[in-house]
Amino acid sequence: TAHFNLDSSAVSYPRLVFFLALSLPVTAAWLFGYRRQLLSAGETDFDYVDFVENVAHKTARWGSAIVILAGLAWMVTLPDTMRWFAGSVWSFLAVIPLAYFAAMSAIQVKRRLCIFCNYMAFGMTVVMVLVLSALREVLRYGTLLDAVGWNPLDYKVVTDWPTTLIFFGTFLLVGGTALTYLLTLAWKLGTAPKDGPIDMSGTETIGRTAVAFLSLWVIGYFAVGAWVVWG
């Protein structure tokens, strides 16, 4: 078993910069979609639309460069217990998201008039970030398994259905309705004519439903807490 340093004060600054800088490609992708939304809503201030597009391209280019350089620095400075990852197939899989970030600006230039492509930039970027997050967990899992023999698959699974149902109920009902309301509101406001009426049909119903689920969750939270403490 390899020696493993459990000093929690050690900080990998390239790793920190890498994950913080991932917000730049995501922001750029969001701006590409925002530009398309402005045009779809009939925005006539084309100087502002061009400004948004210019910021998106610069953010995509500089952001991808920072992410790639920070990622390379992170791999070069990996400690001995983690160095196995740099030459593994997992690190080569990370090239796919990084290549997409680097090419995103050029893709948007080529597909400038493609409505679907402008919006899909954000979805693709989120997927690529999730891929990198999954690879980070591969690094964590492989290192802990080799260094201290820790394998989460060795743990016995004890199903706790009440907790599981509460979690997914909260996630889907409370979080889902609130997020649906915010996205619906943003979409309707963003696509409405600049000087015309705004179609808000159904939006208030979604908002009331979100508030109702949140209220029930808060009441249930304190009720369960009181039952556990004083019951």
pLDDT digits (tens, 9 = 90+) for 116-149: 889 999 999 999 999 999 999 999 888 888 777 7
Average pLDDT of the chain is: 88
Asked if the model's pLDDT at residue 195 lies above 80, the reply is no
Round to whole Å and give the CA distance between 68 and 57.
17
pLDDT digits (tens, 9 = 90+) for 39-88: 887 877 899 999 999 999 999 999 999 999 999 999 999 988 888 999 89
Round to whole Å and give the CA distance between 64 and 98.
7
Greatest mean pLDDT among 95-104, 191-200, 218-227 lies in 95-104
> Residue range 4-12: average pLDDT?
58
Round to whole Å and give the CA distance between 132 and 68.
12
Which residues have CB under 8 Å from 227's CB, separation 6+?
none
What DSSP line would sit under 179-194, residue for residue?
Answer: HHHHHHHHHHHHHS-T
The one-character DSSP state at 157 is P
Which residues have CB under 8 Å from 90's CB, separation 6+?
135, 138, 139
Give the pTM: 0.71
Tell how far CA 50 is from the center of its chain.
Answer: 26
Round to whole Å and give the CA distance between 135 and 97.
11
- Residue of 210, 200, 224, 147 whose CA lies nearest to 179: 210
Tokens of 219: 């009441």
190 CB burial (10 A radius; 0-12, 13-18, 19+): middle
The model's confidence at residue 194, banded by pLDDT at 50, 70 and 90, is low
Round to whole Å and give the CA distance between 136 and 68.
15
CA torsion through residues 99, 103, 108, 114, sign: negative
